[in-house]
A and B are shown apart, each in its own frame.
Chain A
Amino acid sequence: MEEVKRVKLHGVGANPYSKRVELALRIKGIPYEYIEEDMSNKSQLLLTYNPVYKRIPVLVHNEKPVVESLVILEYIDENWRNTPQLLPDDPLERAKVRFWANFIQQELFEAMTLAVRYDGEVQAKAIDEVDEKMKVLEEGMKEMFPESGSASIQGEKLGLLDVLICSIFNSYKAYEEVLGVKILDPERFPLVFCWVEALKELPLVKELFPPHDQLVALLMVVRENVLKASSST
């Protein structure tokens, strides 16, 4: 019981940043207490823990907060060393993983977020960008994993890139349904597609992520607000 209380995660339901931290904690077998935050009514605790950005996720370990999801993921990996490592030991391999983690987060996911949150031209441009970044990712992953021809989990070992890809693409079908656009075409992006599908089948992943319909409903709400805002201007 003590163990669980020592690690707390402040997050929001299906938020992918929140989910990636939960996934990492579960991969590493770290018990934690999950606290759902209401972003429309932020708790005093959240504002104290994250005064700079005032947002989730926030990991609190022994009363000390860590914020920004990639910073949290590296912290989890470095602090709990007797558990499956998310990052490789070799410095050059680590640099490659960090490079692609940045790419997936800052280039690809940012574009996907824009596509959901905006309309008209901004959205169209964002969707094009997602496609461009997907091509780069597919090529990059082919280079990183030349032997297997697939980035899929070697054995049962999940790493940092698996966590990110899973948190972003697990719900790709929901994004496709809501945006009316194909994002993860198996013919154009076979490696990433197989990777995502393999991750989706893992029991660990299935129990963590909300079902398709729930996510579609959530994304629809976001889109509704977007359309309301643009039509009222």
Chain B
Amino acid sequence: MAEEVVLLDFWPSPFGMRVRIALAEKGIKYEYKEEDLKNKSALLLQMNPVHKKIPVLIHNGKPVCESLIQVQYIDEVWHHKSPLLPSDPYQRAIARFWADFVDKKIYDLGRKVWTTKGEEQEAAKKEFIESLKLLEGELGDKPYFGGENLGYVDVVLVPFYSWFYAYEKCGNFSIEAECPKLIAWAKRCMQKESVSKSLPDREKVYGFVLQLKKAFGIE
């Protein structure tokens, strides 16, 4: 039976990028639909009535919402190729812990870095770098969080790499100076087509951030 996969997404969304990477890793053909968040489609509102947010993965007409849930779903349905989560339950728990950590810390702190100034921004930058260093610790000497290949945590974290340049410009700091191992890891991930084709150009993201700052009246 023909599988029909549709992804409702918004190009700069790191959450959407996670799903794009997972689908690409598994070699799944899908229809990409760009949403205008100021004018959400009837389909989006119908498929995600609770949160009305992207990304939404629609598989054979049935919606799956929330990026971590979507990546796990993709991994479970298309389990025969490029597994993202390890098979051992304890290793899976470790992976889920770090994915949850990324969700709790990286997005919100990154957001604070480009939306605030002064003391608030300095505090956000500090905690952001601390969080990245914890992730570096978890990575250790492995090429990827998943070991020899891209895994769940890699897919969950690497999208933010496309936003690092914007954070750096807005926050006037260098992430590479503080977390060289993590940047090396990100560049390694970018050598994979599934990642490089799923992440937007960093200048484009920075341009988008500047537009948002203007719209929100942030200097």
Does A associate with B in a complex?
yes
* Contact yes or no, B69 A98, CB < 8 A: yes
On whether A99 and B65 interact (CB within 8 A), knowing A71-B100, A136-B50, A140-B50, the answer reads yes
- Which chain A positions have C-beta within 8 A of B72? 94-95, 98
A78 / chain B contacts, CB cutoff of 8 Å: 89, 92
Q: How far is the CB of A223 from chain B (nearest CB, A)?
A: 27
Number of A-B contacts (CB under 8 A): 56
B89 CB contact (under 8 Å) in A79, A99, A136: A79
Q: B73 contacts A95, CB within 8 Å?
A: yes
B101: which A residues are within 8 A, CB to CB?
52
Q: Is B123 located at the chain interface by the 8 A CB criterion? A: no
Interface hit among A1-9, A61-69, A178-186, A208-216: A61-69
| Bound CA span A103–B48, Å | 13
1/0 per position for A98-110, CB-CB distance to B under 8 A? 1100110000000
Contact B76 A68 (CB under 8 A): no
| Chain A residues, Cβ within 8 Å of B73 | 91-92, 94-95
Query: Does A145 count as interface, using CB distance less than 8 angstroms?
Result: no
Q: Inside 8 A of A61's CB, which chain B residues have their CB?
A: 90
Q: How far is the CA of A75 from the CA of B101 in the complex (A)?
A: 16
Nearest-CB distance from B103 to chain A (Å)? 10
Q: Which of A59-94 contact B (CB under 8 A)?
A: 61, 64, 66-68, 70-72, 74-75, 78-79, 91-92, 94
Interface residues of B in 76-129 (CB under 8 A from A): 76-77, 89-90, 92-93, 96-97, 100-101
In the bound complex, CA of A66 to CA of B97 (Å): 8
Per DSSP, chain B at the interface is helix
B50 to A66, Cβ gap below 8 A? Answer: no
The size class of the interface chain A forms with chain B is 20 to 34
Please give me the residue from chain A that is nearest to B101 by CB atom: A52
Specify which chain B residues have a CB less than 8 angstroms from the CB of A102 in the assembled complex. Answer: 66, 69
Q: Are A92 and B96 in contact (CB under 8 A)?
A: no
| Whole-angstrom CA separation of A70 from B96 in the bound complex | 9
| CB proximity of B215 to chain A, nearest CB, Å | 25
- For the complex formed, measure the closest distance between the CB of B83 and the CB atoms of chain A, giving whole angstroms: 14
Whether the Cβ atoms of A92 and B62 lie closer than 8 Å is yes
**Residues B97 and A68 in contact, CB atoms below 8 Å apart:** yes
| B107 vs chain A, min Cβ distance (A) | 13
A residues near B89, Cβ cutoff 8 Å: 75, 78-79
Q: In the complex, are the beta carbons of A91 and B76 less than 8 A apart?
A: yes
Using a CB–CB distance below 8 Å, which chain A residues touch chain B? 52, 61, 64, 66-68, 70-72, 74-75, 78-79, 91-92, 94-95, 98-99, 102-103, 136, 140
Residue contacts A-B, CB under 8 angstroms, 23 given: A52-B101, A61-B90, A64-B90, A66-B90, A67-B97, A72-B93, A74-B96, A75-B92, A78-B89, A78-B92, A79-B89, A91-B73, A91-B76, A91-B77, A94-B72, A95-B73, A98-B66, A98-B69, A98-B72, A99-B69, A102-B66, A136-B50, A140-B50
